[in-house]
């Protein structure tokens, strides 16, 4: 009797398990594949471009067929702000953005991470993104409709390229410098006495040719990839921002994903971030050599000259523009969180 009972229980277990499996398989089969579009402004060959391709490859390799990543470099689907607007409308898009943009999207304290000369080293950046302060800002951002997926990507040290030479901070006075369209970077160059000129990165080459701008700022690989050195021949390695960058999607879209899909997006983004940082570090010295070979003048400022930049930039952190929006003692809070 015991044997018969055991056999019946075993048969019943198999039937139930098969039914559950068939139900689950049917449910998966009935769902449409999620197509995620990863959009950015970087051009083929740049470290970010290579790492995004790696990220998409990881997603497509590790998904169960329910998700597909497609990549759109070189602002193919619009400017950063255009893409963010589409994300907020529920589109299945991911883009690269930074604290300066989040300040304009309703999380003002986040903007300080793009302040001039805030960080003294890259280790300070990585300490900050693991801090309680950073987690709080990320939650505030999510409440505004933007889900932060990954923050461990090194975009790079941002430097300035100009048509006329810049050897010290005083030389920037009156120069029209292209910046992304956000208040943090506009004010960051205003305190240096430059004339910040917001525009889409895709327009900078023509703007340099036509004299609409006198220069722009970005990382060396990005400047090289954009070929702007064909019309601007002077670079000063002022390193005004240590730009760690982040990848985001809309909260509305993120919440439609399964737990497995959410984990896949985040884990592969962080893995691709480590890949990005490795190739970025390798590329910087190569790009310097290429610039020099192309006849570009590269100024490596002395400590005295850099002190001039840092002293001038201190005014940024006491501007009325931000003091009315930022939390009290924000600069001190963030500096403490970096340690």
- Per residue of the chain (339 residues), give pLDDT as tens: 434 343 333 333 433 334 433 334 334 444 689 999 999 988 898 899 999 999 999 999 999 889 999 999 999 999 888 999 999 999 999 999 988 889 889 999 999 999 999 999 999 999 999 999 999 999 999 999 999 999 999 999 999 999 999 999 999 999 999 998 888 999 999 999 999 999 988 899 999 999 999 999 999 999 998 999 999 999 999 999 999 999 999 999 999 999 999 999 999 999 999 999 999 999 999 999 999 999 999 999 999 999 999 999 999 999 999 988 999 999 999 999 999
> Which secondary-structure segment (H or E) carries 321?
helix 320-323
Residue 224: the pLDDT is: 94
Q: What is the dihedral of CA 277, 279, 281, 286, to 10 degrees?
A: -160
Determine the Cα–Cα distance for residues 263 and 254; give it in Å rounded to an integer: 11
Determine the Cα–Cα distance for residues 119 and 243; give it in Å rounded to an integer: 9
Beta strands in 54-104 (DSSP E): 67-72, 93-97
Residue 281: the pLDDT is: 93
Is residue 240 within 8 A of residue 311, CB to CB? The reply is no
Alpha helices in 89-201 (DSSP H): 99-104, 122-129, 132-143, 183-190
DSSP 3-state assignment of 95?
A: strand
Residue 31: the pLDDT is: 63
Residue 323: the pLDDT is: 83
Is residue 153 within 8 A of residue 276, CB to CB? The reply is yes
Question: If we measure between CA atoms, which residue out of 304, 156, 318 comes closest to residue 239?
Answer: 156
Is residue 199 within 8 A of residue 178, CB to CB? The reply is yes
Residue 181: the pLDDT is: 85
Determine the Cα–Cα distance for residues 298 and 232; give it in Å rounded to an integer: 12
Question: If we measure between CA atoms, which residue out of 242, 221, 79 comes closest to residue 161?
Answer: 221
DSSP label at 92?
Answer: -
């Amino acid at each position: 009797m015991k044997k018969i009972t055991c056999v019946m229980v075993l048969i019943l277990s198999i039937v139930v398990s098969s039914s559950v499996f068939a139900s689950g398989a049917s449910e998966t089969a009935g769902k449409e594949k999620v197509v995620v579009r990863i959009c950015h402004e970087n051009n083929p060959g740049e470290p970010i471009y290579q790492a995004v391709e790696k990220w998409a490859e990881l997603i497509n390799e590790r998904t169960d067929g329910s998700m597909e990543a497609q990549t759109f470099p070189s602002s193919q689907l619009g400017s950063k702000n255009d893409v963010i607007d589409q994300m907020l409308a529920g589109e299945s898009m991911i883009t690269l953005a930074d604290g300066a943009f989040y300040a304009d999207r309703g999380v003002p304290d986040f903007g300080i991470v793009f302040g001039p000369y805030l960080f003294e080293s890259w280790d300070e950046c990585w300490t900050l993104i693991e801090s309680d302060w950073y987690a709080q800002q990320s939650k505030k951002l999510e409440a505004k409709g933007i889900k932060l997926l990954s923050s461990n990507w090194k975009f790079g040290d941002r430097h300035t390229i100009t048509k006329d030479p810049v050897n010290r901070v005083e030389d920037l006075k009156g120069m029209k410098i292209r910046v992304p369209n956000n208040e943090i970077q506009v004010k960051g160059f205003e305190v240096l006495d430059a004339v910040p000129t917001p525009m889409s990165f895709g327009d900078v080459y023509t703007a340099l040719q036509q004299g609409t701008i006198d220069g722009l700022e970005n990382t060396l690989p990005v400047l090289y990839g954009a070929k702007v050195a064909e019309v601007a021949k002077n670079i000063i390695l002022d390193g005004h921002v240590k730009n760690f960058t982040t990848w985001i999607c809309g909260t509305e879209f993120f919440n439609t994903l399964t737990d497995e899909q959410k984990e896949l997006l985040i884990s592969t983004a962080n893995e691709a971030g480590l890949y990005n940082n490795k190739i970025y570090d390798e590329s910087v010295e190569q790009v310097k050599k290429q610039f020099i070979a192309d006849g570009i003048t590269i100024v490596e400022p002395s400590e005295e000259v850099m002190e001039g930049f840092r002293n001038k930039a201190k005014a940024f952190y006491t501007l009325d523009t931000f003091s009315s929006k930022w939390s009290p003692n924000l600069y001190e809070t963030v500096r403490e969180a970096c340690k």
